Amino acid sequence: MTLALRQLQVHAGTRRLLGPLDLELAPGRCLGVVGESGSGKSLTALSLLGLLPGGLQASGEVLHDGQAIPLGARIAPAHAALRGRVLGWVPQDPLASLHPLRTVGAQLRETLHVHGRPDREARDLLARVHLTDPEAALKRFPHQFSGGQRQRIAIALALCSGPRYLVADEPTSALDARIAREVLDLLDALRREDGLGLMLISHDLPLVGAYADEVLVLRRGDVVERGATRAVFDAPVQDYTRELIEADAIAFVGGPSGPSFESVATPEELGPEGPPATAIPLLRGESLTMRYPRAPAPALDGVDIALHRGEGLALLGESGSGKSTLGRALLRLLRGAQGRVWLDGIDFTAQRGAALRALRGRIGVVFQDPYASLDPRMRVGDIVSEPLRIHGDGDATSRAAKARALLVAVGLDPAMAERWPHQFSGGQRQRIAIARALARDPDLLVCDEAVSALDAHHRRGILELLSSLKRERGLALLFVTHDLSAAAAVAERIAVLDAGRIVELGDTADVLGAPQHAHTRALVEARKLQRA
């Protein structure tokens, strides 16, 4: 009664992507597969499901109840027969994997029909995944649900055929911490109560550790560590595993009786002495309001905020809280935003044309997605020196020299200036983006979710880089994030946003240690329980 992969290897042409790898799923057990992007964890899942994209060749075999099915260029019929009946799949992004134009009920009934089960079970399945009001949900469309609800629906779809094993590929990476925990609790309940075998794939080792009986750590296609979860966490064999375990424990060491924050930024550590109370703030926003067309509620609802020189301020909130909208409104990147923004005493909102562009040149910005925020057709050196070219600073030689110096400052090799962005990893690309943001020695660096697209390993490196740059250059940092530990690592103050308003604003240690607002408390709690 087990399902296993034996000697799995995946190649793209002659290049080995994964393996050789063995793994086994058993009913009522949870196997965690952990690795960074590119480690082969998704390839493992796709091989097990027999869904590898064309152009990749798998070898090895799938063992199901003693029956061996070879993996090869073509999917064996016996392998395809496992899908659905034996194996269920929970996708990463339920919005992309649910049909947008058909009701949830229709999609469930279709799958039930394929497996010869009666339509009325659709309602029971939605109740099984704890969706509120399953009867009404059947008549609604995927876009009418929240991300967490959609993931529940995707799980219900996976259960339609009564599988014995569920493969969940990053089921919560698109969700906020609090919602993610609820979805994982649901999967865990299915495992305990229905005896499902679970394969949980994630880049987040601490998260997987909270649910898996056994973990397998992949790196660049090789198994670097495997064993019972407890044993791996207590005594990891590889440094790499230890790094993953500690990756987001930088600042957050939560305990039941008042959490302590080991390396919460303190003013002495992070910048020059605090600003005098009377100084003009470096960046100030006044009654910022933004209403997207056809949205029922404003995304920003009269927010006032100020950031002083050398200070780190985190805008913290879940998706939809208005934190990114606020960040963009402060940068004047949002058409239709109301309210006023002052940059160093100059009215930013009143500027037009060349004056506006000149003022923008004084702010460095780092965006979330390091893959999309660098022009793929520019060399790294040109990318880093682009702000200098835009504003006509220096000549070609001095700009190239500055670009190399910046690459060194962010911990890269200056020779990389000749290379193209696609030759770099996500973490390196984000360093390039930071180097670009620093090109004109700005006083203010704005980071919009700058570490949330990165693996744990790179996230830690980037946070350390940001906080040392802040210290050395006296940079003011506006850090938009949904990640408590990241906020704590770089900011002296935290503003918590919910539904377009600032619900709590204070020193980092106070906000995280003794949250005042119910919403902040929920955020902090979600984080703690997840690590339990």
Residue range at the interface with other proteins (CB under 8 A); choices 232-240, 272-280, 297-305, 388-396 = 388-396
* CA atoms of 250 and 451, how far apart (whole Å): 14
Torsion of CA 8, 12, 13, 15, to 10 degrees: -80
Please, what is the minimum distance in Å from the beta carbon of residue 42 to other proteins?
Answer: 6
Question: Quick one: which of 79, 436, 459, 527 contacts other proteins (CB under 8 A)?
Answer: 436
Contact 232, 215 (CB under 8 A): yes
CA 351 to chain centre: 35
Please, what is the minimum distance in Å from the beta carbon of residue 46 to other proteins?
Answer: 6
- CB 281: neighbour CB atoms within 10 A? 18
- Binding flag, residue 363, other proteins (CB under 8 A): yes
Residue range at the interface with other proteins (CB under 8 A); choices 307-315, 368-376, 459-467, 521-529 = 368-376
Question: Quick one: which of 110, 369, 443, 507 contacts other proteins (CB under 8 A)?
Answer: 369
Residue 418 burial class via C-beta count within 10 angstroms: exposed 0-12, middle 13-18, buried 19 and up? exposed
Please, what is the minimum distance in Å from the beta carbon of residue 449 to other proteins?
Answer: 11
Residue 207 burial class via C-beta count within 10 angstroms: exposed 0-12, middle 13-18, buried 19 and up? buried
Residue range at the interface with other proteins (CB under 8 A); choices 49-57, 105-113, 393-401, 462-470 = 49-57
- For the range 412-419, what are the long-range contacts, defined as Cβ-Cβ under 8 Å and sequence gap of 24 or more? 416/380, 417/379, 417/380, 417/381, 417/384, 418/379, 418/380, 418/381, 419/379, 419/380
Question: Quick one: which of 151, 324, 373, 485 contacts other proteins (CB under 8 A)?
Answer: 373
Residue range at the interface with other proteins (CB under 8 A); choices 48-56, 256-264, 401-409, 472-480 = 48-56
- Binding flag, residue 476, other proteins (CB under 8 A): no
- Binding flag, residue 43, other proteins (CB under 8 A): yes
* CA atoms of 22 and 184, how far apart (whole Å): 25
Contact 509, 261 (CB under 8 A): yes
Question: Quick one: which of 281, 312, 387, 515 contacts other proteins (CB under 8 A)?
Answer: 387
Range 56-85, binding other proteins (CB under 8 A)? 56
- Look-up of token digits 């906080």: 467
- Binding flag, residue 372, other proteins (CB under 8 A): yes
Please, what is the minimum distance in Å from the beta carbon of residue 223 to other proteins?
Answer: 17
- Footprint on this chain of other proteins (rule: CB under 8 A): 12, 17, 37-38, 42-43, 46, 52-56, 331, 333, 335, 354, 356-361, 363, 365, 367-369, 372-378, 386-387, 389-391, 433, 436
